Structures are given as structure tokens and as C-alpha cells.
């Protein structure tokens, strides 16, 4: 017969609350869980341990609760200059950090040239190549102010930006470079007249703007231009000419890389370099010299003794020069008959590791939005994705 | 869309159209962290299909609820990430401004002291 009291006890009983059960992992497992170990042939323990019950057998809970995540998550900004942003993201799993990176590259909208109407092109760059080059020009316009142009839509002031380009190299002149600063924004839309049957009807152009983009408060005193004025589009020889109109629309990097808002967005895990023995005197100097990234420094210990220290582990590129035989401890083994005597083995005196939940994140914007805004937008997109799934399920 | 059985709601797979590794891998991570989940994984049936299948097996709770909770949790995590990030950037920018001002003042001081020397 089970009493009510026993039932309550059984319900509240949790083996992990028991004082004899360890709440922390033994050090070797903790190392495997939190670090990638970089050996001289390959890195090991590269995957993150995700399953909540992975360490059940030693009585440790591996689950991440929202509260503990919130407590431990940290962001340190390293540098920011309006186009590039470097920050440390600490206490997050690669699965989520990677989702941010993927969204930054492929799912954030920007404006890019999608249609090019060539009126005249006598340059050596063929029309289609020219159009492809124009598409890749980053445009400094906030995509949040525009709408997507869907298939049945007319291009209008809310979904299209029109640029004009007219460059000519006169006869007898030296060769002319056509740069992006020659792209002129047409706030009133296209100026090219569409050929139409009836001559009585009003001439139609390739866009149907109902008002000038000038009248938008965002663009009033702030004309839309390419992000950089000095990107080369084409070179013209004497007598050659380019006259065209380019229409930029909103899109995402998944459709075409020209809509990617970042030159690149990437992360790396924080390197951790540890000296397993004291490097002194000549050894220390050799070690400092071996590292091209200047990770090690020499510390004076007084009375002429010198010691190597790890001064800048962040710089480590994992070239593994410091894991070479020169810095290892030889293993003395009896040489068997027929074995190659030149083949010696050694153990490393330097440990190279990567911290699995510490990401050095770098975002290089192409100019449509500052990188910090890009990141917040990326996080918002992941939030929206979750919301959509929840909405479908409930 | 859910694929499961009527008699046993512990196991189910969910087909998410228009999604890829971005969401699936993040959700799989959150699902794995949930003690109610026995096993979970995702697959993209074919590279030319724009969808991903996420499979969930639980210890007893309905898979649908567990999956929904995971999405909820991921969303809250993101919200937290965003607020922490915004604060960190704002702090950095404020610091930077401070530093710029100090540098300017230091420069001005230097100039002034030079002037005084000249006057002497
Ligand atoms: S791996 Fe290369 S960069 Fe890193 S500490 Fe060793 S020598 Fe330096």
C-alpha cells in the first residue's frame, strides 16, 4: 500500500538532487564537451554534444534551459566602423550561430539591379556581360523602405529604383573608365519611351511612378547612389559609347548572390593555446620565432632566465607549427628489428584548442545597411521563422 | 504539416515548406536540449525540393507540443540575443564617442600648451 505521502515524495524525487550525485562532469569529459582539440594531424571532438541526456550516466544534466542561457550569453563588441563589425558571441551553440550567419548571407533583402535596358552599347563589353556586372554593384538604399516586385506588379516608386548611365569617349581622347559614380538616380522613374501601336496615346515608359521618390522624406536630401563611387563598370575606347537604364529591385541572396547584403559574414571559434611545459632560454626563443602570428612572448624572470608565455592566443591561425617535432618531447622506444630508425615519435608540449561556445563573429556590410542593423534583422528573421511554425501548429 | 499516427502521438515528423538547414538545425538543437525528447533529427528529402522534414520522438508527451515548445524556446532565445546584442553595440558606440571626445580634448590641451610656450 502506497501512502499519499510516499506518492508525493516519489513525484518530487529527483536523483540529481541527491548529495552523492556529482553535478559536474569529470575534467576529461568537460574538456571534450567544451573544446575542440587540435592535434597535429586533425582536430578531434569537433561536434557539440547536444543531447540533453548525454551525460546521464555520470548524473549530469546536459540540457540548456532558457534561464541558464540568458544568464550566460554575452556579446562583446570588438570593433565597429559603419561597414565592418567584429564581435564576440559567448555562450551559444554553433547551430544557432550558424543560423544567423546563413540568414545574413542568403535571406536578408537588399536592392540590386535586375533589369538593364541598353539603348546603345558600342563598348567591347557585351550587353549581357555588362548587365551582369551592373547587377553586382552594391546599392546604398535601405531595403526596408521598398516592397518586393511580384510578377504581376507594375514597377512603381515603391518597388523599383531607376538609374541612368550615359558615358561616351570622344574621338581623339584617351581611354575612358566608366565608374559607378556615373550612375544617375532617376527619382521620377524610367525615361525610356515604350514603343506602342497607337500614336495618339500618351507615351508610356518602362515604369509607372505615381510620385517622385524625391518626395519620400528618407530620400529628400539624400539621393540614392551605389555604395562606392569608384567601382569600374567598363572601359571605353575613342568613339565608344554606353547608354542604358538600370532598374534595381528588392530580392534576397538565396535567389542570386547580388542581393546578399554582406561581402561576407563569418565566425571562428576562440583559439586557446596552452603550454604544457615551461619553455625556457633557447627553447623559448625558438618557439616565439616559429609562430608567424606572434602568439608567444618572452617573459624575463630575472637573473637572465627567460620564459615563453602565451600573449595573444586570439591571433592563432592553427598553422600547427608549434606542434612540430622540434617542440615535442621525444618518446624513447626500443627500436624493433626492421623498423625505420629515422621515424621517431613525440608528444606535444603545446595544446591547441578551440572554445566551442565562443564565436568571433565578423560582418562586412556592402553598404545597404550598417552591419549591426543587419545582425538584428537576421535575428528577427529567425524569430519570424519560429513564429510561422508555431502559428501553423496551433 | 504533421505526419504522425492517431494512436500514438509520441512520434511524428513535421514537414516545413520553404525552410532549410537554417531553421531545422537550430530547432534540432533546441529539441535535443529538451529532456522530454528521446530522439530527433532532420533531413532534406531532395536538394531541389524546398522543404525539410523534422522528426521527433518523445518520452510520452505529444510530439506536436514538444516541437511547438522548442520553436517557442528558440524564439525567446533569439529575443534575448537581440536585446543583449543591441545593448552591447550601443554601449560600444557610446564608449567610442567618449574616447573620441577625450582624444580631441587632449589634442586641444596640447595645442594650447604649445601656444603658451610660443607666447613666452
Ligand atoms: S598553431 Fe601556429 S599560429 Fe597558432 S600558436 Fe602555434 S605556431 Fe602560432
Instruction: Point out the least confidently predicted range of A19-28, A34-43, B17-26, B69-78.
Output: A19-28
Residue in chain B nearest A96 by alpha carbon:
B26
Q: Are A287 and A322 in contact (CB under 8 A)?
A: yes
Q: How far apart are CA B20 and CA A381, in angstroms?
A: 13
Residue in chain B nearest A386 by alpha carbon:
B71
Closest partner residue to A95 among B25, B78, B85, by Cβ? B25
Q: Which residue has the higher pLDDT, B7 or B41?
A: B41
- Which tens digits make up the pLDDT trace of A155-168? 988 999 999 999 99
Closest partner residue to B29 among A50, A75, A372, by Cβ? A50
Whose alpha carbon is nearest atom 6 of ligand 1?
A322
Q: Which pLDDT does position A345 carry in this prediction?
A: 76
A116 lines ligand 1 (CB under 6 A): no
CB contact under 8 A, B33 and A387: no
Q: Which pLDDT does position A200 carry in this prediction?
A: 60
Share of chain B above pLDDT 70, in %: 92
Whose alpha carbon is nearest atom 7 of ligand 1?
A291
Residue in chain A nearest B64 by alpha carbon:
A393
Residue A8: pLDDT above 60? yes
Would you call A389 helix, strand, or coil by DSSP? helix
A297 lines ligand 1 (CB under 6 A): no
Mean pLDDT of A344-352: 83
Q: Which pLDDT does position A14 carry in this prediction?
A: 65
Interface membership of A391 toward B (CB under 8 Å): no
Q: Which residue has the higher pLDDT, A217 or A227?
A: A227
Share of chain B above pLDDT 90, in %: 75
Share of chain A above pLDDT 70, in %: 92
Q: Which pLDDT does position A253 carry in this prediction?
A: 94
pLDDT bracket for residue A393 (50, 70, 90): confident
Q: Is A82 left (phi over 0), alpha (psi -120 to 50) or beta?
A: left
Give the pTM: 0.88
Q: Are A367 and A263 in contact (CB under 8 A)?
A: no
Q: How far apart are CA A243 and CA A135, in angstroms?
A: 16
CB contact under 8 A, A393 and B80: no
A295 lines ligand 1 (CB under 6 A): yes
The three three-digit cell numbers of residue B97, written as one number: 564617442
- Looking up cell 536630401 gives A221
* Helix ranges (DSSP H) in A73-178: 94-106, 127-135
Residue A249: pLDDT above 90? yes
CA A318 to centroid of ligand 1, rounded, Å: 5
Residue A16: pLDDT above 60? no
CB contact under 8 A, B32 and A376: no
Q: Which pLDDT does position B8 carry in this prediction?
A: 81
Q: How far is B76 from chain A (nearest CA, A)?
A: 8
Residue A336: pLDDT above 80? no
Q: Is A2 left (phi over 0), alpha (psi -120 to 50) or beta?
A: beta
Q: In b/e form, how buried is each residue of A247-281, taking b as 16+ CB within 10 angstroms?
A: bbbbbbbeeeebbbbbeebebebbbbbebeeebee
Residue A237: pLDDT above 90? yes
* Structural domains in chain B plus CATH codes: 11-118 (3.30.1360.10)
Q: How far apart are CA A185 and CA A224, in angstroms?
A: 6
Residue B85: pLDDT above 90? yes
Q: Which pLDDT does position A315 carry in this prediction?
A: 92
- Looking up cell 551605389 gives A226
Domains of chain A: which residue ranges?
Answer: 110-258
Mean pLDDT of A362-377: 95
Give me the phi and psi of A389, to 5 degrees please.
Answer: -65, -45
- Which tens digits make up the pLDDT trace of A94-143? 999 999 999 999 999 999 999 999 999 999 999 999 999 999 999 999 99
pLDDT bracket for residue A197 (50, 70, 90): low
Q: How far apart are CA A262 and CA A105, in angstroms?
A: 6
Residue in chain A nearest B32 by alpha carbon:
A51
Mean pLDDT of B26-50: 93
User: Domain A110-258 falls in which CATH fold?
Assistant: RNA Polymerase Alpha Subunit; Chain A, domain 2 (2.170.120)
Q: How far is A385 from chain B (nearest CA, A)?
A: 7
The three three-digit cell numbers of residue A179, written as one number: 565608374
Interface membership of B26 toward A (CB under 8 Å): yes
Q: How far apart are CA A3 and CA A11, in angstroms?
A: 12
Closest partner residue to A52 among B33, B81, B85, by Cβ? B33
Mean pLDDT of A141-154: 91
Amino acid at each position: 500500500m502506497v501512502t499519499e505521502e510516499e506518492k508525493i515524495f516519489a513525484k518530487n524525487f529527483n536523483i540529481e538532487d541527491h548529495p552523492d550525485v556529482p553535478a559536474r562532469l569529470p575534467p576529461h569529459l568537460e574538456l571534450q564537451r567544451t573544446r575542440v582539440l587540435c592535434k597535429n594531424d586533425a582536430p578531434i571532438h569537433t561536434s557539440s554534444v547536444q543531447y540533453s541526456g548525454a551525460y546521464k550516466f555520470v548524473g549530469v544534466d546536459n540540457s540548456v534551459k532558457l534561464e541558464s542561457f540568458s544568464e550566460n550569453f554575452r556579446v562583446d563588441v570588438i570593433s565597429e566602423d559603419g561597414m565592418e563589425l567584429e564581435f564576440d558571441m559567448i555562450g551559444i551553440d554553433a547551430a544557432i550561430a550558424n543560423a544567423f550567419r546563413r540568414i545574413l548571407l542568403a535571406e536578408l533583402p537588399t536592392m540590386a539591379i535586375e533589369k538593364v535596358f541598353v539603348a546603345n552599347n558600342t563598348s567591347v563589353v557585351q550587353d549581357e556581360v555588362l548587365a551582369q556586372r551592373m547587377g553586382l554593384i552594391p546599392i546604398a538604399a535601405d531595403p526596408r523602405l521598398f516592397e518586393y516586385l511580384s510578377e504581376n506588379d507594375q514597377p512603381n516608386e515603391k518597388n523599383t529604383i531607376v538609374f541612368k548611365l550615359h558615358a561616351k569617349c570622344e574621338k581623339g581622347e584617351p581611354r575612358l573608365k566608366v565608374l559607378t559614380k556615373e550612375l544617375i538616380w532617376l527619382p521620377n522613374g524610367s525615361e525610356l519611351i515604350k514603343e506602342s501601336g497607337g500614336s495618339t496615346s500618351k507615351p508610356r515608359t518602362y515604369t509607372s511612378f505615381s510620385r517622385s521618390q524625391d518626395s519620400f522624406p528618407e530620400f529628400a536630401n539624400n539621393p540614392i547612389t551605389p555604395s562606392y563611387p569608384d567601382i569600374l563598370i567598363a572601359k571605353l575606347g575613342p568613339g565608344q559609347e554606353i547608354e542604358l537604364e538600370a532598374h534595381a529591385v528588392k530580392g534576397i541572396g538565396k535567389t542570386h548572390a547580388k542581393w546578399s547584403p554582406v561581402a561576407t559574414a563569418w565566425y571562428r571559434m576562440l583559439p586557446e593555446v596552452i603550454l604544457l611545459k615551461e619553455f625556457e632560454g633557447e627553447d623559448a626563443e625558438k618557439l616565439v620565432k616559429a609562430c608567424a602570428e606572434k602568439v608567444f612572448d618572452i617573459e624575463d624572470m630575472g637573473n637572465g632566465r627567460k620564459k615563453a608565455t602565451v600573449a595573444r592566443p586570439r591571433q592563432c591561425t592553427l598553422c600547427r607549427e608549434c606542434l612540430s617535432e622540434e617542440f615535442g618531447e621525444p618518446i624513447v622506444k626500443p627500436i624493433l628489428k626492421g623498423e625505420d630508425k629515422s621515424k621517431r615519435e613525440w608528444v606535444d608540449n603545446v595544446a591547441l584548442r578551440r572554445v566551442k561556445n565562443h564565436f568571433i563573429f565578423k560582418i562586412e556590410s556592402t553598404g545597404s545597411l550598417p552591419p549591426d542593423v543587419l545582425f538584428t534583422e537576421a535575428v528577427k528573421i529567425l524569430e519570424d521563422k519560429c513564429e510561422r511554425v508555431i502559428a501553423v501548429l496551433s | 504539416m504533421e505526419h504522425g499516427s492517431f494512436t500514438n502521438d509520441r512520434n511524428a515528423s513535421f514537414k516545413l515548406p520553404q525552410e532549410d538547414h537554417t531553421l531545422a538545425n537550430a530547432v534540432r538543437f533546441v529539441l535535443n536540449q529538451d529532456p522530454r525528447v528521446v530522439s530527433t533529427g532532420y533531413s532534406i528529402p531532395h536538394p531541389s525540393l524546398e522543404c525539410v522534414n523534422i522528426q521527433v520522438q518523445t518520452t510520452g508527451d505529444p510530439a506536436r507540443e514538444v516541437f511547438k515548445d522548442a520553436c517557442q524556446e528558440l524564439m525567446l532565445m533569439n529575443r534575448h540575443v537581440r536585446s543583449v546584442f543591441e545593448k552591447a553595440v550601443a554601449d560600444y558606440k557610446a564608449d567610442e564617442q567618449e574616447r573620441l571626445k577625450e582624444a580631441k580634448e587632449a589634442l586641444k590641451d596640447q595645442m594650447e600648451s604649445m601656444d603658451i610656450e610660443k607666447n613666452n
